Homo-oligomer: A and B are copies of this chain.
Amino acid sequence: MKIVPVTETISIKRSIDSGTEEQRAAVQSILSDVRKNGDAAVLTYTKKFDGADLDQLRVKEDEIAEAYENMDGEIISIIREAIQNIRSFHEKQVRNSWMMTDESGTILGQKMTPLDSAGVYVPGGTAAYPSSVLMNVIPAKTAGVKRIVMATPPNENGKIPSAVLVAANEAGVSEIYKTGGAQAIAALAYGTESIRPVDKIVGPGNIYVALAKREVFGDVDIDMIAGPSEIAVLADATAKANEVAADLLSQAEHDMRACSVLVTESRELAEETSKEVQKQLESLPRKEIAQKAIDDYGVIYLTQSLQESIEVINSIAPEHLEIMTEEPMELLGQIRNAGAIFLGRYSSEPVGDYFAGPNHVLPTNGTARFSSPLNVDDFMKKSSIISYSRKALEENAEKIAAFARLEGLEAHARAVEERFKKE
C-alpha cells in the first residue's frame, strides 16, 4: 500500500458510479413497461435477465421448507443468534410518541407511526448474503411495519439461495418475490397484479437497481444509494500491523472499488502494515479483487500527530472507522463523521457485519457527514400533534393574526378570528 504524508488538505479517491445514458434509458423503459404491463413485464424481464422461466413470482411455503432442509443446523442457529443481537440493538432505538401539555389546555406532541409497508431488495449473483436480509428486515420489523416484502432475483432454475430464504423467514418477511433489477424496484414501487406496492424500498443492488431507486424516489421512499465499502483505521504505535492489515483486507475483498485507508502518526506501523497487507493478500481466495482495490483505492496517510489523524478521519467521513489507539474510548467525542465506529483491537470490523447488533447498512462516500446507519427511525414517520384549547387560542389569536398579516396572508388571520366572531 502506498504511504502518503499528509500535507494540507487530503482528497480521498472514491468510486462513484452514476450510470451511463444507456443504463438510464434502459431503466426508464423497464419502469414504464412494468407500470403498464405488470406481472407479464416482470416475468419477461426475469426470463431475459435471470434466465428463469417462472409462472409465479411469489415464493411458496414449500420452497421455504425445502430451504431449511438444505441448511446446516449450526448455521441456522448462528443466524438466530445474530437476529437476537440485531433485534436487541434495534429495539433500543424505538421511540415513543410524546406530548407536552400546559395549563391553558394546549397539547403539542409527536406521534410515531410505523410505515404501513416496506420492500427489501436483496441482490442475487453468485454469493448469497443472508446478513443483508437481516440488516434490512429487522429494523423495519422492530419499527412495527406490518407488511415486509422481499424481492430477489432467482437463478436460472428459478431458485433463491436457501440461506436467503431462511434468513428472510427467520427475520419476519411476510412475502418473498423472485424478481431482481429495475423490474423488481418498479413492482415494489407501483405494484403489479401479484405484488402490492410498498411505502419504502431499501437494500443494496447493482447500478440498474440504484438508478431505478432514484427514479421511483418521491412516489415511495428509498434508503441511500450505497457506494463501494470503505474502512478507515485510525491507529497509533500501539496497534498491531497484522490486525490492521487483516481489517483493511476485509473491506478490500468486497469489491475492486472498495476503499481501505490507514491513518497513523507512526511511520513504523505504516510501513509494517503495508508489508502485512501484501503478505496476507497472497493467500486470500478473493486475492484478485482485494489486490485491485488496495492498488487503486488503498492508502496509508502518515500524519504528524494523533490530533491531525482525527482531523483526517473527520474529513474522510468513512463508512467504517476502527480506532486502534491506546485509549480509543477517549477519542470518541472527537469523531464527528463516521458511519460505524469500532473501538479497540477486539472490535474488528466483521464483528459489525454479521453479529454484534448494530446495522451494517452504513453511509458511504463521505455521506456520514450528514447521514446515518439504517435504523428504526427509517421505518417510522412522525406526525405533529397540535391541540389548542379555546383559552389558548383566545390568548394568542391576535398575535397569530398579526404574524399572518405580516406575511400578507389574510385568510390565515381570518381563520383564527372566525372562531370568535359569531359567539
Minimal beta-carbon separation of A78 from chain B (angstroms): 5
Q: Which of A46-54, A57-65, A362-370 is near enough to bind chain B?
A: A362-370
Q: Mark A311-354, 1 if CB is under 8 A from B, else 0.
A: 00000000000000000110010011111111111111111111
Is A402 in contact with chain B by the CB < 8 A criterion? yes
- The reply to whether B409 and A111 contact each other, CB–CB distance below 8 Å, is no
Give CA–CA (A339, B385) in the complex, Å. 9
- The reply to whether A250 and B384 contact each other, CB–CB distance below 8 Å, is no
Interface centre among A113, A337, A370 (most CB of B within 10 A): A370
- The reply to whether A381 and B354 contact each other, CB–CB distance below 8 Å, is no
- The reply to whether B81 and A351 contact each other, CB–CB distance below 8 Å, is no
Q: Mark A214-255, 1 if CB is under 8 A from B, else 0.
A: 000010110001000000000000000011001101101110
Say whether, besides A100-B89, A387-B344, A350 and B415 are in contact (CB < 8 Å): yes
Q: A357 touches which one: B108, B381, B387, B410 (CB < 8 A)?
A: B108
Q: Which of A123-131, A175-183, A263-271 is near enough to bind chain B?
A: A123-131
Instruction: Collect the chain B residues with CB atoms within 8 Å of residue A342's CB.
Output: 386-387
- The reply to whether B93 and A407 contact each other, CB–CB distance below 8 Å, is no
Having A111-B341, A339-B384, A348-B388, one finds 14 other A-B pairs with CB under 8 Å, namely A75-B403, A78-B399, A78-B403, A89-B100, A110-B358, A131-B407, A221-B367, A340-B384, A347-B387, A351-B396, A355-B399, A368-B381, A368-B383, A373-B382
Instruction: Collect the chain B residues with CB atoms within 8 Å of residue A350's CB.
Output: 400, 404, 409, 412-413, 415-416
Q: A370 touches which one: B253, B381, B396, B403 (CB < 8 A)?
A: B381
Q: Which of A5-13, A152-160, A278-286 is near enough to bind chain B?
A: A278-286
Interfacial residues of chain A within 400-423, with CB under 8 A of chain B in the complex: 400, 402-404, 406-416, 418-419, 421-422
How many A residues touch B, CB cutoff 8 Å? 121
Give CA–CA (A242, B111) in the complex, Å. 29
Minimal beta-carbon separation of A365 from chain B (angstroms): 8
The 8 closest A-B pairs by CB, nearest first: A358-B384, A221-B370, A372-B382, A343-B387, A340-B384, A350-B412, A246-B418, A246-B415
Q: A246 touches which one: B372, B406, B414 (CB < 8 A)?
A: B414
- The reply to whether A411 and B250 contact each other, CB–CB distance below 8 Å, is yes
Instruction: Collect the chain B residues with CB atoms within 8 Å of residue A280's CB.
Output: 411, 414
Closest B residue by C-beta to A399 = B78
Say whether, besides A115-B370, A415-B349, A410 and B284 are in contact (CB < 8 Å): yes
Minimal beta-carbon separation of A186 from chain B (angstroms): 18
Closest B residue by C-beta to A347 = B388
Interface residues of A (CB under 8 A from B): 74-75, 78-79, 81-82, 88-89, 92-93, 95, 98, 100, 106-108, 110-111, 113, 115-116, 126-131, 163, 199-200, 218, 220-221, 225, 242-243, 246-247, 249-250, 252-254, 280, 284-286, 290, 328-329, 332, 335-359, 362-363, 365, 367-373, 375, 377, 381-390, 392-393, 396, 399-400, 402-404, 406-416, 418-419, 421-422
- The reply to whether A100 and B92 contact each other, CB–CB distance below 8 Å, is yes
Give CA–CA (A375, B109) in the complex, Å. 12
Q: A400 touches which one: B355, B390, B396 (CB < 8 A)?
A: B355
Closest B residue by C-beta to A417 = B246
- The reply to whether A407 and B127 contact each other, CB–CB distance below 8 Å, is yes
Closest B residue by C-beta to A410 = B285
